[in-house]
A = this chain, B = another copy of it.
Amino acid sequence: MTGQPAPSGIKLGIDIGATTVKIGAVGEGTAILARAVAPTLQDFAAAADLIAKTVRDTFREAGLGLSSLPFAGVGIPSAVHPVTGRVVEANNAGWRDAPLKEALEKRLGLPVLVANDADCALAAEASAGAARGVPDVLMLTLGTGVGGALLLGGRLYRGADGMGMELGHMPLIAGGRPCTCGADGCLEAYCSATGLVALTRDAMARHPDSLMHAWSRRRGGRVSGRTAFECLKKGDGAARAVVDRYCELLAQGIGGLVNAFRPRRVLVGGGVSHAGEPLFTRLNALLPRFVISFGVIGASEVMPAQMGNDAGIIGAATLDRVRGG
């Protein structure tokens, strides 16, 4: 079964997260033909070794050859040097200025494209999701942090120096809640799932009679990005206030980005986006307030991302389609 060339159209996507690396062989129509998961090791050389070994094992077990692949695509939560493919700062893995492209090219014997994870998420949407056929799309991923990516004319915008965009670290309430980046009041500090949890905890402390306390107790005391949205459905007033406040902040953040980039469509992905209708209805209703000259030129539509958990693998594997110069 080993050593066969990969069938035409097979691609390799590697999604390096804070704690795990997801690996997938992606076929036509973005189907995942084989997959594996490995821990994200802090030691960079050991991590590269483990990723390469897992890729080889996965392809061998699936009866797929590696050598004929056009490239390996890799996504990682960091800025990435546009030429060297060095990872600037992957804080959770603890890698800094790490030669990821070089290390994997050497170990896999393939050309490697490395990109920011938000860029990969948007690449996946462009290949098979909510950005398909739309040339100008802004995407925010709302998870532990906030990632941002922009498709302009069908190509990923990566900044004047190619280092990519860090939309999570634009100010939202300057001087406000401390952000992981060291500044205070970034979009990420309020609009990430972490920021939503902080808003939720604040409201719970102020409202001891809120249903959110019982919801949390039933889950071992856990408060998540779902807490307020779930309790809103049951009519809890404090939960509604959290959702309204969160959506207003996020709408103002999105509105500012629309004023800067004027995309046709804004996609929201990441864990928070699973809140669904209550989130998107509010965002679209609020957006006109924050978009300049909305009455004359209109605003973008805010929609949920569609690609789900495999977006990182699929986006990495299809980076070649949206990679700008």
Contact = CB atoms under 8 A, between A and B. Distances in A.
Interface of A: 79, 88-89, 96-97, 135-136, 148, 152-153, 159-167, 169-176, 181-183, 185-186, 248-249, 252-253, 255-257, 259-264, 289-290, 292-293, 296-297
Contact of A183 (B148, B249, B261, B290): B290
A163 B255 contact: no
Contacts of A173: 171, 173-176, 185
A174 B249 contact: yes
A89 B291 CA distance: 13
State the copy count for this chain: 2
Contacts of A262: 159-165
Given A160-B262, A255-B183, A296-B89, A172 B169 contact: no
B169 A292 contact: yes
Given A161-B136, A297-B79, A297-B163, A170 B88 contact: no
Nearest to A264: B160
Nearest to A159: B262
Given A162-B262, A257-B260, 7 more contacts: A79-B297, A160-B263, A160-B264, A163-B297, A165-B262, A166-B260, A175-B248
